[in-house]
Amino acid sequence: MTLPDTLVNQAQLEAAAQRLAGRILGPATFCLEGPLGAGKSTFARAFLRAFGVPGDIPSPTFTLVEVYDGYGPNGIDIWHVDAYRLISPQEAEPLGLIEAFDMALCLVEWPDKLGSLIPDDAMHIHIAHAEAADMRRLTLP
CA distance 92 to 119: 14
CA distance 5 to 96: 33
Give the CATH number of domain 6-139; options: 3.40.50.300, 3.60.21.10, 3.40.50.880, 2.20.25.190.
3.40.50.300
Q: Residue 75: pLDDT above 70? A: yes
Average pLDDT, the chain: 92
Tell me the per-residue pLDDT of 17-70, one tens digit each, with 9 for 90 and over: 999 999 999 999 999 999 999 999 999 999 999 999 999 999 998 899 999 999
Rounded to two decimals, the pTM is 0.92
Sketch the domain layout of the chain as residue ranges: 6-139
Q: What are phi and psi of 87, to 5 degrees?
A: -95, -35
Beta strand pairing status for 136-139 and 123-129?
antiparallel
CB atoms within 10 A of CB 114: 22
